[in-house]
Amino acid sequence: MTSSEQHQLIWTGTYTPDGGGRAEGIGAISSAPDGTLTWLGTAVKASSPSFVAVHPTLPVVYGVGEQAQTVQAYRRAGEFGLEALGDAENAGEAACHVAVDPLARFITVACWGDGQVLLYELDHDGGMTGRFPAAPSVDPHGSMSPGAPRQSRAHASLMLSDGRVMTSDLGHDTLRVWRYAPGAGLIADHEVALPFGSGPRHLVQHASGSVFVVSEYSVEVFVVRPEAGTFELISRGTATSGGSGPDDSAAEICLSQDGNHAYVGIRGSNLISVLHASPDGTALSPIKDFPSGGDWPRHHLVRGQWLHVAHERSDDIATFGLDPASGLLGPLVQTLRTPSPTALVLAG
């Protein structure tokens, strides 16, 4: 059997009561070849592990503690359990995202509350060693907002194919590109300023090298492309085909398996928008919007021909089949009850 024909394990990031949720910690789900999911239970109790990431080669998982302002490494234990690997490390306010270097040299943590981007070097067992805060954030639109300065709000990190790291700053409408220096952390490379008030949230890299960015506040998609090593904004457009409501906010963006389509979650109207990605990675064009199958689609995962959508407020994960030619969503396959899911990550 190929891996796509076997059952796969999915970790769920969650909110626990300290973050207004109903979960107990990182959840574990078994995914079947027919697209259906089975709730296995809580893999490890933790304080609002709203985002998780996996080590590229070891059975190690990293989870932020959004309310506790920490990040913790866990090792696999048993069929679907996790146990702490070392002590939790201090992070910043509202640590909301963690990402792992593909070469397993470090992890990065983005902190929505105070704008910090933190790097933690890893040892050969996947444990965290040195902690390095990045340089302070500077608002490129500062002159456009008189009065109190806007708060930097780092939200996500993306490991780029050339070894650099790109981070999004919701508060400063900025993408920042960093270089990793062993023993020193992240060194600023350059910045890309997006339109004022857009609020870049999550991002994904296309095979062309372009990075697709979804903006939480303006509900748009942006394309930034590397030109002689420096990313430049080349495209901006709406994230949906039918427009967005005044209370909508965009969440996750991810790509189809072949990279020809992107999927964007819209909270409020509770939609999944399907967009076509041009082969050269220069444009994203909305095709059709679909009901997400629940309330508040916080995150979603493409797994082969299936799309799994985590609904934070309705405590469920909706699964849809994907048409391989058009990229469009088919009928709802299943709704799995699971507490306060905020992220879906394949265990590897």
The pLDDT, as a whole number, for residue 6 is 76
The pLDDT, as a whole number, for residue 25 is 98
Report the Cα 139 to chain-centroid distance in Å: 23
The sheet carrying 165-169 orders its strands as: 154-159, 165-169, 174-181, 185-193
The pLDDT, as a whole number, for residue 1 is 35
For residues 84 and 26, is the Cβ–Cβ distance under 8 A?
Answer: no
The pLDDT, as a whole number, for residue 3 is 42
The pLDDT, as a whole number, for residue 77 is 97
3-class SS at 209?
coil
Task: Give the phi and the psi of residue 53 in degrees, each rounded to 5.
Answer: -150, 155
Which CATH code is given to the segment(s) 50-141+150-193?
Answer: 2.130.10.10
Per run of 10 residues, the mean pLDDT along the chain (length 348 residues) is 66 98 98 97 98 98 98 97 98 98 98 97 97 91 84 97 98 98 96 97 98 98 96 98 96 97 98 98 98 98 98 98 97 98 96
- Predicted TM-score (pTM) of the model is 0.97
